[in-house]
Chains A and B, each alone.
Chain A
């Protein structure tokens, strides 16, 4: 299960979060854990360089893209490598929507579209569409592939 996708700004304010199968009372823990993780480790990290962490059997992969940091949390079949896959899809979709590694301003301007992208990428806790063209088509309500 892909437990959470979280996007925060450089100050640790959470911009987007998508939890799947995480009880409401545990979300607060995750938010603060991830934000702390980012604050501790993300300084000076290159764009899209993947960092990894785990807590018990839950894996966390996170990275920086422009002004925002992206965290993906998963367990079971969503191990660190599957999460890397997911975060790769998310970053490429973000770059696609924003046209470049987003500043916070840009990110917020494109907020709605980003939400739609995330909706196509992660569907009920499972990674769904990984192809960026496909995502692009789907958020315009076009068939996923040309025929």
Chain B
């Protein structure tokens, strides 16, 4: 920094530019420079604001401003040159003062020079302009003749107008300035605020922009421009602007027809030039102001604008038109009318020397040619379509790529599969014909298709020959990939990616386009499209046939073109820029078809990932691409998981475990019943890493060993393994479709298979998926580092609780062994010791496992007890007494609560006492049904809101509370109430109730008793509509803590919900509440392992700039960084819905993974009841195909409105 003293923004202010300039005036009365710390001594980077001195600065500036104002009123010639000669920085106040002074003498050359060379340039450094300068600026505007001074004046007036008042919001940048308005408010004695000056500025600018003097028009242009800077929220200025614009356009009237080859600036008389200038100015303003699509004048003027001679004006009008076309394509198409025809004005735009104008044209043509509103006018559509296709030949890449994207159906960020599929169809099938021969001008699309190719060929003009779009596009892309410019490479890769998306959409919709077909065949008869050409044999295989690719030029097939393009794309991976490479890899992922081998892609990615220069965000971006790719083609789940695995192994330090888990989960849920096993296998592969010695990298010792080189990635790998283990435990049951509550195993069989070997054999033969997962988890429980072992033990417990026999028993045995440490010595011999203190229990897990074992123990002993009781009863032919049933129920509840501490189970279905309880219940359920039914009928029939509100809490109380004080009295009341209120209404339900009452009459005491032990029984489910059940279940969600008498219940609700619903989170065992038997040590460890990953991952992400993206990307954002915002997933506590119901729309189809989850169809409207750890409890407006109305769906699948 040799000359660093002269190279900062502040130095700019001190510098006197050309030092030869003499001081023009002496200034004896000039006050000494008042330099505030923040203003002058501030560092060159403007973002650094000295907070401490801020208040002082404000006061300082205030006094500066006042003194400046005072100076302005005094006709004293203060001059900044004096300060500059002393090489001291010039403060803002001094600049302001100079402006005031020089404005008064603006007729003098020297003042003008000073303004232009010193004052204005220096003032530009500041972030915003003090509104108190406005009077002087306006004075300059009025009096000064110097163009450059005036140009600056307009610049600053625009800055004043655009400044919305608060600091930092103006687009300026530079040295920060205070909030002038606030300052003026502090100064009671005549501070100037924006509100004071803006009307004057606007008035002045308005009158200038209406000045019709020919010589004045450049100023007019600038005045209009400055006016557009006013915030668009200001409707007054806006309406004024409209007024001006329309009045000008009215005056210039109909534009003159542009002569071909002359674009405005060369030919034409002065009159026309001025006209075009006005047109330009007004159209520019037009575009910068909010559109009013309902106003026909807009459309009319915009269409006129297409004929203007100035290319920029044409661009603006096309941009306005394409904007309008998205809202009302019919009107735009009709208004454009003959301009779109061959030889019309739109054709001229094709040759217009303005890239952005052509881009706007592409958009306009795309919007019109795809508009549904124009379905009845195929001729109009085909005209626009033909213009769009001609843009594919544009020399500028920007235009050509835009046209390709439009053809592909990628227009805005809304992704519609049909549109995309149609895009791929268009690209692969359609043909570009150049309609410049007048004879074919008015052909309809069909005529074109058939007649034109032949007619053209006869002319044997090479350029004019119709070309298949695909060929054009491929050649263009290939040549772009040979470019040296990185932006071009990046854009080309992006276009290929979009092409892959469209192709995938086309596959997804079952449109198999035979890519092996010769392309030139289409040009002969391209309307012979058969929707299901060759659906069974997708054509990629043909690509491998050498005769095809080595054939002559005209033998091109889509497949061969694609192959050669992809070859070029692959070579682009060699680009230095990682961003280009990332885009190329994304493109490759999208172009990967499910039927091809992906070895090449895999090796490319693997070798790429070895490069340390990849930033983490880009890698996660690619992972999300995999995710999107999976959504488009679920068949590729396994392929994509394989690729994801490469990420996990090669760059564990850079990828976000959450993103990976999301991918796993989506693949698992989306893979369908057949794919689940493979999907889970792919996840578990992570656990087998690195393959030869499972103990080493997972173990603590290996981390110590690696730490010298890369401790971060070693830790991250471990985190990934943890995530995988947890994922396995949480989802193995789902993947294997094995649930205790759906188990087909007859009760008691498992208890007889106590021989462990037989048990394992039986288990694996019955469900290899679950058995495989179990084996892996068991290995992790032994050989991982302590974090992994803990999670593995938890995962095993989850599986034990959720699975039926024999898995439960198998896990029980295993855990028991693990806790005792009996077998540990054997295992220690087999695996390298991880060097950790094994603790008293051998594995160090004893204290953690013992509560788990205790639960399982309790469950087994309760089951034994129950079976024994049942046998006793059977043998003695005794009825079950109410006391016994009550006890049974209490045991059931207690076990449920215990189990819920460990993992989520559906309370309504889970039977911790074993399936045998079903028998008991079906025998003894009838009596309670009676009361239940009555209550339910009452609930249903009396729909009066008040009554409903009155009844519901009581009923819930009844159903959930185990010890209801006086249920019979309540029942009587209800029944009476029901009878009296319905009276002789003749409700159909009345008879049924009477029947029930009659039937139950003899059992009256039982009714009372059974009602106390109310529980969800099977017949109850069957008899009453799901809604009622859901009401109670929902109430359970909400009111369990208050309604249940069990002391454990609060904890259980929290843990159960969080561990199940926290799709992306780590297990929450013991975390939410000190459990009755949880020991403190594992709890602490647990806490540490749960939070550290996020802290580690959160920080790098926060450094990145915030996203500017479609909602889709924001969605991604939310799960990339779960702790970042309040909107993202919470951890343990469930957030109850806050009063008002929220609504949302389903973004995607969602397939329920369990009974509590709800199937969604994209676009369905939902009412969001509650959010729990990344899941919404939603209600549909009407029941779905499966008849369910309410349930849980992932938050990410729903857009909240």
Instruction: Scan residues 40-96 of chain A and give those whose CB is less than 8 A from a CB of chain B.
Output: 41, 50-59, 61, 75, 77, 79-85
User: Is A132 in contact with chain B by the CB < 8 A criterion?
Assistant: no
> Are B150 and A141 interface neighbours, CB within 8 A?
yes
A141 touches B147 (CB 8 A): yes
Contact flags (1/0) for A9-44 with B, using CB distance below 8 Å? 101111111111010101111111100000001000
Q: How far is the CB of A52 from chain B (nearest CB, A)?
A: 4
With A13-B8, A15-B9 in contact, do A81 and B218 touch (Cβ < 8 Å)?
A: no
What's the A-B contact tally at a CB cutoff of 8 Å? 211
Q: Which one of B264, B401, B1109 contacts A57 once the chains associate, using CB atoms below 8 Å?
A: B1109
By the criterion CB–CB under 8 Å, are B47 and A81 in contact? no
B-contacting residues, A88-147, CB 8 Å: 104-105, 108-113, 115-116, 119, 123-124, 126-130, 138-147
The listed residue (B1, B47, B270) touching A147 by CB distance below 8 A is B270
- By the criterion CB–CB under 8 Å, are A143 and B11 in contact? no
CB pair B1105 A33 closer than 8 Å: yes
Identify which of B119-127, B370-378, B708-716 touches chain A: B119-127
Tell me, yes or no, whether B466 is within 8 Å of chain A by CB. Answer: no
Question: Is the Cβ of A81 less than 8 Å from the Cβ of B397?
Answer: yes
Residue-wise interface mask of B (378-401) relative to A, using a CB-CB cutoff of 8 A (1 in contact, 0 not): 000000000000000000011001
Whether A58 contacts B1109 by the Cβ 8 Å rule is yes
Residue of A nearest to B575 (CB): A52
The answer to whether B228 has its CB under 8 Å from any CB of chain A is yes
Please give, as numbers and ranges, the residues of chain A lying within 8 Å of B265 by CB-CB distance.
Answer: 145-147
With both beta carbons as reference points, the residue of chain A lying nearest to B226 in the complex is identified as A119
B172 and A18 contacting across the interface, CB-CB below 8 Å: yes
* CA A59 to CA B490, docked complex, whole Å: 10
B residues less than 8 Å from A29 (CB atoms): 1103-1106
**Bound complex: CA of A74 vs CA of B621, how far in Å?**
18
Measured in the bound complex, the distance between the Cα atoms of B217 and A12 in whole Å is 41
A108 to B762, CA, bound (A): 81
B553-601 with Cβ < 8 A to chain A: 577, 579-580, 583
State A120–B1060 Cα separation when bound (angstroms): 58
Query: What does the 1/0 interface line of B162-181 toward A look like (CB < 8 Å)?
Result: 00001011011110000000
Asked if A14 and B3 make an inter-chain contact with CB atoms under 8 angstroms apart, the answer reads: no
Looking at the complex, which one of A33, A50, A80, A108 makes contact with B1104 (CB distance below 8 Å)? A33
Beta-carbon contact of B217 and A143 below 8 Å: yes
**What is the bound-complex CA distance between A144 and B1187, given in angstroms?**
68
When distances are taken between beta carbons in the complex, the residues of chain A under 8 Å from B15 are 108-109
Does B356 reach chain A (CB closer than 8 Å)?
A: yes
Output the least CB separation between A29 and chain B (Å). 4
Indicate if the CB atoms of A26 and B173 lie closer than 8 Å.
no
B277 contacts across to A, CB distance below 8 A: 143-145, 147
Q: Would you give the 0/1 interface string for B202-243, flagging 1 where the beta carbon is closer than 8 Å to chain A?
A: 000000000000000111011001001100000000000000
Inter-chain contacts of B122 with A (CB < 8 A): 111-112
Smallest CB gap from B1116: residue in A: A56
**Binary interface encoding of chain B residues 348-373 relative to chain A, with 1 for a CB under 8 A from any of its CBs, else 0:** 00000011100100010000000000
B310 at the interface (CB under 8 A from A): yes
A6 vs B617: C-alpha distance in the bound complex, in angstroms?
A: 22
Q: Closest CB-CB distance, A108 to chain B, in whole Å? A: 4
A30 to B1106 alpha-carbon distance, docked (Å) = 8
Beta-carbon contact of A123 and B288 below 8 Å = yes
Q: Name B215's closest neighbour in chain A (CB-CB).
A: A143
Contact yes or no, A108 B12, CB < 8 A? yes
Q: Do residues B354 and A130 form an inter-chain contact, with CB atoms below 8 A?
A: yes
The answer to whether the Cβ of B280 comes within 8 Å of any Cβ in the partner chain is: yes
Residues of B within 8 A of A31 (CB): 47
Bound complex: CA of A93 vs CA of B178, how far in Å? Answer: 31
Whole-angstrom CA separation of A15 from B13 in the bound complex = 13
Q: How far is the CA of A142 from the CA of B155 in the complex (A)?
A: 15
Q: How far in angstroms is the closest Cβ of chain A from B485? A: 6
A124:B229 contact, CB within 8 angstroms: yes
**Is B621 in contact with A52, judged by CB distance below 8 angstroms?**
no
Which B118-177 residues have C-beta < 8 A from chain A? Answer: 120-125, 147-148, 150-152, 154-155, 158, 166, 168-169, 171-174
Distance (whole angstroms) from the CB of B487 to the closest CB of chain A: 4
In the bound complex, residues from chain A placing their C-beta under 8 Å from that of B288 are: 123-124, 126
Task: Check if B6 is an interface residue, CB within 8 A of chain A.
Answer: yes
Do A141 and B218 touch (CB < 8 A)? Answer: yes
- The residue of chain B having its C-beta at the shortest distance from the C-beta of A60 within the complex is B579
Specify which chain B residues have a CB less than 8 angstroms from the CB of A84 in the assembled complex: 398, 485, 487-488
* A54 neighbours in B (Cβ, 8 Å): 490, 579, 583
User: Is B312's beta carbon under 8 Å from chain A?
Assistant: yes
| Smallest Cβ-Cβ distance to A80: which chain B residue | B487
Whether A113 contacts B274 by the Cβ 8 Å rule is no
B268 within 8 A of A: yes
> Judging by beta carbons under 8 Å apart, are A116 and B152 in contact?
yes
**Contact residues of B between 234 and 293, Cβ < 8 Å to A:** 264-265, 268-270, 272-274, 276-277, 280, 284, 287-288
A144 to chain B, nearest CB (A): 7
B45 within 8 A of A: yes
Asked if A56 meets B1113 with Cβ closer than 8 Å, knowing A14-B45, A33-B1104, A145-B310, the reply is yes
Q: Which of A12, A16, A127, A128 contacts B174 (CB 8 A)?
A: A16
A32 touching B485, Cβ below 8 Å? no
Cβ B222 vs Cβ A80 within 8 A: no
Chain B residues within 8 Å of A17, by CB: 46, 172-174
Q: Which residues of A contact B116 (CB under 8 A)?
A: 112
- Is A28 in contact with B47, judged by CB distance below 8 angstroms? yes
Distance between A16 CB and nearest chain B CB, rounded to angstroms: 6
A28, A31, A50, A141 — most chain B CB neighbours (10 Å): A141
Give the Cβ gap from A9 to chain B, nearest Cβ, in Å: 7
Complex CA gap A16/B121 in Å reads 13
* CB of B398 to closest CB in A, whole Å: 4
Partner of B488, one of A16, A81, A109: A81
Tell me the smallest distance from the CB of B671 to a CB of chain A, in Å.
28
Q: How far is the CB of A65 from chain B (nearest CB, A)?
A: 16
> Roughly how many angstroms separate A145 CA and B1109 CA in the complex, as a whole number?
38
CB-CB under 8 A from A144, the residues of chain B are 221, 277, 280, 310, 312
Whether B44 sits at the interface, judged by CB under 8 Å, is: yes
Known: A52-B580, A55-B617. A111 touches B124 (CB 8 A): yes
Residues of chain B with a CB closer than 8 A to A119's CB: 155, 158
Q: Does B482 contact A (CB under 8 A)?
A: no
Q: Which residues of A contact B228 (CB under 8 A)?
A: 123-124
Let me know if B1105 and A52 touch, CB within 8 A.
no
Residues on the A chain within 8 Å of B1103, using CB: 29, 32-33
Question: Is residue B73 within 8 Å, beta carbon to beta carbon, of the partner chain?
Answer: no
Contact with A along B338-354 (1 / 0, CB 8 A): 00000000000000001
B1180: chain A residues within 8 A (beta carbon): none
Known contacts A18-B171, A33-B1104, A142-B147, A80 near B490 by CB under 8 Å: yes
List 24 contacting pairs A-B, 8 Å CB cutoff, sorted by A.
A26-B1105, A33-B1104, A33-B1105, A50-B487, A51-B486, A54-B490, A55-B1107, A56-B1107, A56-B1117, A57-B1107, A57-B1108, A80-B491, A81-B398, A109-B17, A111-B121, A111-B122, A119-B155, A140-B147, A143-B221, A144-B221, A144-B280, A145-B265, A145-B273, A146-B273
**9 closest Cβ pairs, A-B complex:** A147-B273, A112-B121, A17-B173, A141-B147, A81-B398, A80-B487, A145-B265, A108-B12, A24-B168
Show the binding face of A for B, using Cβ within 8 Å. Answer: 3, 6, 9, 11-20, 22, 24, 26-33, 41, 50-59, 61, 75, 77, 79-85, 104-105, 108-113, 115-116, 119, 123-124, 126-130, 138-147
Q: A29-B1104, A51-B486, A141-B154 are in contact. List 11 more A-B contacts (CB 8 A).
A: A28-B47, A55-B1104, A56-B1109, A59-B490, A79-B494, A83-B487, A108-B9, A109-B17, A110-B121, A111-B125, A144-B280
Residues on B facing A (Cβ under 8 Å): 1, 3, 6-9, 11-12, 15, 17, 44-47, 116, 120-125, 147-148, 150-152, 154-155, 158, 166, 168-169, 171-174, 217-219, 221-222, 225, 228-229, 264-265, 268-270, 272-274, 276-277, 280, 284, 287-288, 310, 312, 354-356, 359, 363, 397-398, 401, 413, 485-491, 494, 577, 579-580, 583, 617, 621, 1103-1110, 1113, 1116-1117
